[in-house]
Amino acid sequence: MKIRLIPILLSVFLLAACGGTKSQPTATPSASASSNPYGSGFAVSPPADTDVVLTIKGSKSIDFTMKQLRDMASSSITIKEPFVKTIQTFGVISLKSLFADEEPTNSSSLNTVALNDYAFKAPAKDFFGNSAFLAISRNGKPIPMDAGGPIRIVFDKNSKWFSNVDAWNWSLRSIEIV
């Protein structure tokens, strides 16, 4: 009996080590799990100017490179970022301005999807009415991947959604109009 049990235990161990079970992403990583609220990452070089870092998906797909987003950034906001609880200045683009070519209808929702597949979906009017921004820089520098970059959703401190940390999708990959 012991001999049969060893291969079974070994198989279970290997499946667990290889990610045999899929866990659901969470919006608010536990600070006790890591000193980095964005998870335990490793340094990654910032995207090149020509790298596509965001795709807007609607009736057609629109890709944005890092340079295009930097060129679109027209303002900045200074807030006490809720995950690290420090004052930071983000170079931002109004989320609504990203939809110049394909504006959502009043009944549309936006589904923001991160690189780790975390998704947050809400009516487009709620994003637009709550001062949602796409942050493309932090304190004048690119946002590192291990700090929620290279792009992320942030909210103005006067927004009702400033405290809705589920909506603060970081390491953003795409925004889908649904």
Give the 3-state DSSP-derived string for 86-154, with helices as H, strands as E and coil as C: EEEEEEEEEHHHHHCCCCCCCCCEEEEEECCCCEEEEEHHHHHHCCEEEEEEECCECCCHHHCCCCEEE
Decide: 48 and 166 in contact? Cβ < 8 Å: no
Instruction: Match 């919006």 to its residue by tokens.
Output: 27
Distance, CA of 83 to CA of 85 (rounded, Å): 6
Question: Residues in the chain, how many?
Answer: 178
User: Greater confidence, 44 or 176?
Assistant: 176
Does residue 9 register a pLDDT over 80?
no
Q: How confident is the model over 59-115, as pLDDT tens digits? A: 899 999 999 999 998 899 999 999 889 999 999 999 999 987 778 887 899 999 999
Domains, the chain, with CATH or none: 52-177 (3.90.420.10)
pLDDT tens for residues 25-61? 334 333 334 566 666 566 778 899 999 999 999 989 9
What contacts 75, CB < 8 A, 6 or more positions away?
91, 92, 94
31 vs 149 pLDDT, higher one: 149
- Apex 145 CA angle, 20 and 78, nearest 5: 135
Q: What is the mean pLDDT of residues 110-137?
A: 96
Residue 145: how many CA atoms within 13 Å on its side-chain side?
13
The pLDDT assigned to 38 comes to: 61
H-run or E-run covering 77: strand 75-81
